[in-house]
């Protein structure tokens, strides 16, 4: 079983090789200048950096993360069902209909509550 | 043991060929974009400007490697490497012909979704580690977009899995070769599922019209704002690899992969992949950027409910239509 994952390691090795070549190339080819005090300040379109980096983010991002967790868990149930439901016949289809029904009700609830609105 | 060596060799070869293809893919996109805008595109470096990407890489490597003050150094350095690794990693289970496949996993589709989903992590690392407001906001937007579009993506990919009854990518292609491409039959399920997959793929790889995470006019360059030289090159390549591999997966799951008349399988797979890849850039140079809220509305209010309907439709098709599943 584990043997079928060996090609992935080969691909990862190619990726690491590429990254190493790029990093080394950059080290040897890149300029090394004397750096002034302002050289490494965060880029803010030329104006001086103001405030901390930890800007306040909209709560929508957290809401999206929660929605994602809720709706992506379905994949865990849907994929095994998707392969095997033939052997369950009618029952399998009806049960999944119920599961997806609950999920859709959840989506409609989020929709009505305004969780899907991004206009400010 | 033989199969192991075979797979390992193909793994290395496929990754190398992909990276080479990307160099010419970038050249092709620039030529294509040039023609669309009544320009010539690159013409100077090499015949027809073919070596433009090589020149660009050398130029980028000559740039100074700037690390912003107070950056989280390990994460800042690791993010572009991980982006390159994850985008290449998906290619391991894509069958380019009945025999040219690095690893014919039984759970290939799950592997694609899992490794493809990991792309969120380098984006977040880069956004967080850069110590830059634009990078952080761009990173958060990119994550919100990627995870949101992950939902319709998962539903769209489930459709070929249900129709063929297997999670193996080569199994899905074999089923299509024996019966019909999922795009062509059942057409009322296959076409919308493919459309959702394609849109989600564009969103996952941050392509126009879904490139809000790096909207230049408001966010400078999103997560790549502070990246220069080699690290920027890696991010840039990872983006193209992501698009190319996404096209290959789409070709395998919906367009019959290596199935086709007259020519060997590899030709068909490469042709289909390149057609999908070209359409990405056709779209890119034709459309405008969506707004952030439009993007989320499209994902949650349209693609996700339609995706649920398609999954049920596919299941009903298999269950009730005679000959739906052989």
Q: What is the per-residue pLDDT across B211-242, written as a single tens digit (0 to 9) for each?
A: 777 777 777 777 888 888 888 888 888 888 99
Could you tell me the residue ranges of all domains in chain A? 1-30, 57-120
* Closest chain B C-alpha to A98 CA, distance in angstroms: 11
The whole-number pLDDT of residue B154 equals 92
* Closest chain B C-alpha to A67 CA, distance in angstroms: 8
B42 in a domain, yes or no? Answer: no
| List of residues 6+ apart from A69 with CB closer than 8 A | none
B120: left (phi over 0), alpha (psi -120 to 50) or beta: alpha
- C-alpha B301 chain-centroid distance: 23
Q: Does B150 touch chain A (CB under 8 A)?
A: yes
Contact between residue B120 and residue B146 where contact means Cβ atoms under 8 Å apart: yes
Closest to A53 (Cβ–Cβ): which among B88, B131, B230?
Answer: B131
The whole-number pLDDT of residue B1 equals 52
Least confident range from A74-78, B90-94, B281-285: namely A74-78
**Is A11's CB within 8 Å of B92's CB?**
yes
Contact between residue B266 and residue B258 where contact means Cβ atoms under 8 Å apart: yes
Rounded-to-integer distance, Cα B108 and Cα B179, Å: 21
The pair of three-digit structure tokens given for residue B174, joined into one six-digit string: 């074999």
The pair of three-digit structure tokens given for residue B49, joined into one six-digit string: 């400007």
Q: Does A43 touch chain B (CB under 8 A)?
A: yes
Confidence of residue B325 (pLDDT cuts 50, 70, 90): low
**Is A18's CB within 8 Å of B84's CB?**
yes
B303: left (phi over 0), alpha (psi -120 to 50) or beta: alpha
- C-alpha A11 chain-centroid distance: 21
B38 in a domain, yes or no? Answer: no
B22 in a domain, yes or no? Answer: no
Contacts with A118 from chain B: Cβ below 8 Å: 292-293, 296-297
> How many contacts, defined by CB atoms under 8 Å, are there between A and B?
218
Write out residues 168-197 of B within 8 Å (CB-CB) of A.
none
B10 in a domain, yes or no? Answer: no
Closest to B220 (Cβ–Cβ): which among A25, A45, A116?
Answer: A45
Contacts with A53 from chain B: Cβ below 8 Å: 70, 131-133, 136
Look at residues B290, B123, B319 and name the one whose alpha carbon lies nearest to residue B205.
B123
Mean pLDDT by 10 residues, chain A (120 residues): 80 88 85 71 72 75 86 84 82 86 89 79
pTM of the model: 0.91
Closest to A43 (Cβ–Cβ): which among B84, B132, B230?
Answer: B132
Q: Does B143 touch chain A (CB under 8 A)?
A: yes
The whole-number pLDDT of residue A53 equals 66
Contact between residue B265 and residue B302 where contact means Cβ atoms under 8 Å apart: no
Rounded-to-integer distance, Cα B8 and Cα A13, Å: 11
Q: Which residue has the tokens 């126009």?
A: B208
The whole-number pLDDT of residue B250 equals 92
Where is pLDDT greater, at B213 or B306?
B306
Rounded-to-integer distance, Cα A115 and Cα A108, Å: 10
Rounded-to-integer distance, Cα B173 and Cα B254, Å: 8
Percentage, residues of chain B above pLDDT 70: 97
Contacts with B241 from chain A: Cβ below 8 Å: none
CA torsion angle for B26, B265, A11, B194 (degrees, to 10)?
70
Write out residues 78-97 of A within 8 Å (CB-CB) of B.
78-79, 82-83, 85-86, 89-90, 93, 96-97
Q: Is the peptide bond before B130 cis (omega within 30 degrees of 0)?
A: no
B289: left (phi over 0), alpha (psi -120 to 50) or beta: beta
The whole-number pLDDT of residue B326 equals 46
Contacts with B15 from chain A: Cβ below 8 Å: 10-11, 14-15
**Is A11's CB within 8 Å of B162's CB?**
no
B231 in a domain, yes or no? Answer: yes
Average pLDDT, chain B: 86
Q: Does B324 touch chain A (CB under 8 A)?
A: no
Number of domains in chain B: 1
Q: Is the pLDDT at B200 greater than 50, yes or no?
A: yes
Contact between residue B141 and residue B214 where contact means Cβ atoms under 8 Å apart: no
Q: Does A56 touch chain B (CB under 8 A)?
A: no
The whole-number pLDDT of residue A120 equals 59
Closest to B66 (Cβ–Cβ): which among A19, A22, A40?
Answer: A40
The range of the structural domain enclosing residue B258 comes to 70-320
| List of residues 6+ apart from B28 with CB closer than 8 A | B278, B281
Total number of residues shown for chain A:
120
Closest to B226 (Cβ–Cβ): which among A30, A43, A89?
Answer: A43
The whole-number pLDDT of residue B195 equals 94
Q: Which residue has the tokens 């080819």?
A: A29
What residue of A is the nearest CA neighbor of B133? A53
The whole-number pLDDT of residue B322 equals 64
Look at residues B201, B307, B172 and name the one whose alpha carbon lies nearest to residue A104.
B307
B143 in a domain, yes or no? Answer: yes
The pair of three-digit structure tokens given for residue B61, joined into one six-digit string: 């490597």
Contact between residue B280 and residue B247 where contact means Cβ atoms under 8 Å apart: yes
B5 in a domain, yes or no? Answer: no
Q: Where are the alpha helices (DSSP H) in A6-89?
A: 6-29, 59-88
Confidence of residue B251 (pLDDT cuts 50, 70, 90): very high
The whole-number pLDDT of residue B96 equals 87
B59 in a domain, yes or no? Answer: no
Question: Which tens digits make up the pLDDT trace of B25-82?
Answer: 888 888 988 888 898 888 888 888 888 888 888 888 888 887 887 778 888 889 999 9
The whole-number pLDDT of residue B272 equals 92
Q: Is the pLDDT at B284 greater than 90, yes or no?
A: no
ipTM field: 0.87
């Amino acid at each position: 079983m584990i043997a079928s994952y060996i090609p992935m390691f080969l691909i990862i090795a190619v990726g690491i090789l590429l990254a190493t070549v790029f990093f080394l190339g950059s080290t040897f080819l890149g300029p090394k200048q004397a750096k002034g005090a302002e050289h490494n300040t965060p880029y803010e379109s030329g104006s001086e950096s103001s405030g901390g980096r930890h800007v306040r983010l909209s709560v929508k991002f957290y809401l999206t993360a929660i929605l994602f967790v809720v709706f992506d868990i379905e994949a865990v149930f849907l994929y095994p069902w998707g392969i095997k439901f033939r052997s369950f016949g009618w029952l399998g289809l009806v049960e999944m209909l119920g599961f997806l029904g609950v999920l859709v009700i959840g989506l409609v609830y989020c929709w009505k509550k305004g969780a899907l609105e991004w206009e400010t | 043991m033989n199969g192991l060596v075979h797979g390992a060799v193909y793994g290395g070869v496929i990754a190398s060929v992909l990276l080479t293809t990307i160099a010419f893919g970038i050249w092709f996109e620039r030529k294509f974009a040039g023609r669309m805008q009544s320009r010539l595109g690159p013409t100077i470096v090499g015949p027809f400007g073919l070596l433009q990407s090589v020149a660009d890489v050398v130029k980028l490597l000559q740039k100074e490697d700037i690390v912003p003050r107070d950056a989280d150094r390990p994460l800042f350095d690791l993010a572009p490497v991980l982006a390159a690794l994850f985008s290449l990693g998906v290619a391991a289970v894509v069958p380019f012909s009945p025999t040219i496949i690095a690893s014919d996993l039984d759970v290939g589709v799950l592997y694609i979704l899992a490794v493809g989903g990991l792309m969120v992590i380098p984006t977040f690392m880069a956004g967080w580690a850069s110590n830059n407001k634009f990078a952080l906001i761009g990173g958060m937007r990119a994550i919100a977009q990627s995870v949101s579009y992950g939902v319709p993506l998962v539903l769209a990919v489930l459709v070929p899995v249900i129709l063929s009854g297997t999670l193996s990518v080569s199994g899905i292609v074999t089923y299509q070769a024996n019966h019909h491409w999922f795009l062509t039959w059942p057409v009322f399920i296959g076409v919308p599922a493919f459309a959702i997959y394609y849109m989600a793929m564009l969103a996952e790889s941050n392509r126009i019209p879904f490139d809000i995470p790096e909207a230049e006019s408001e966010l400078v360059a999103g997560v790549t704002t502070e990246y220069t030289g080699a690290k920027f090159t890696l991010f840039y390549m990872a983006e193209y690899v992501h698009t190319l591999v996404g096209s290959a997966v789409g070709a395998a799951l919906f367009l019959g992969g290596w199935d086709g008349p007259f020519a060997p399988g590899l030709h068909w797979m490469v042709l289909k992949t390149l057609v999908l890849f070209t359409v990405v850039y056709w779209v890119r140079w034709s459309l405008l950027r969506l707004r952030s809220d439009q993007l989320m509305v499209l994902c949650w209010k349209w693609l996700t409910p339609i995706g649920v309907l398609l999954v049920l439709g596919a299941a009903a098709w298999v269950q009730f239509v005679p000959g739906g599943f052989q």
